Amino acid sequence: MRLAILFVAFCLLAACGQKGDNTMQLQSKIDSLQSRLDKTYKPGLGEFMLGIQMHHAKLWFAGEAQNWKLADFEIGEIKEALDDINEYCKDRTEIKSLPMIEPAIDSMNNAIRQKNSQLFKGSFALLTNTCNNCHRATNHEFNVIRIPDSPPVSNQDFKVN
């Protein structure tokens, strides 16, 4: 009887030890995954802004050429980048000013939907002013955005083909 109890106790101990080992292994796996996750490359706010700058310039030339499909694509890219900023730049306090751009995006979407050049120009001015308003609100007033006077790239045709 004593032997049996000892045997059961031994088995239980062994099982516990095993479980402890497993938990430790799991924890070290989690730690190593966490450290890999921490080192994963994420674009910063400035990088998203560089992308937005390019789409802002392309949007202007698309609208100038009344290439509404391209204009729609470019404003969509700006919107996507803004959504990504909300997702990936949570550590930047400046993003609380981001919603100020929404009316300008809505206005641009409306101009494009109506294929209206006059509305497009007005919306583009509003969009550009909002970029600058946010830069001022976030102490980045030295990043001044304006309506471009030459296409940002020479290897893309902005006309409707």
Residues that bind ligand HEC (CB under 6 A): 45-46, 49-50, 52-53, 56, 78, 94-95, 97-98, 101, 127, 131, 134-135, 138, 140, 143, 145
CA 113 to chain centre: 25
CA 147/CA 122 separation, integer angstroms: 12
The least CB distance from residue 103 to ligand HEC, in Å, is 11
Closest listed residue to residue 63, CA positions, set 121, 138, 122:
121
| Amino acid identity at 98 | L
Q: Closer to ligand HEC at the Cβ: 95 or 119?
A: 95
Phi and psi at residue 123, to the nearest 5° = -70, -35
The least CB distance from residue 90 to ligand HEC, in Å, is 13
CA 72/CA 161 separation, integer angstroms: 16
The least CB distance from residue 23 to ligand HEC, in Å, is 42
Residue identified by tokens 């206005």 is 107
Q: Closer to ligand HEC at the Cβ: 18 or 156?
A: 156
| Amino acid identity at 130 | T
The least CB distance from residue 29 to ligand HEC, in Å, is 35
Q: Closer to ligand HEC at the Cβ: 65 or 98?
A: 98
Q: Closer to ligand HEC at the Cβ: 78 or 158?
A: 78
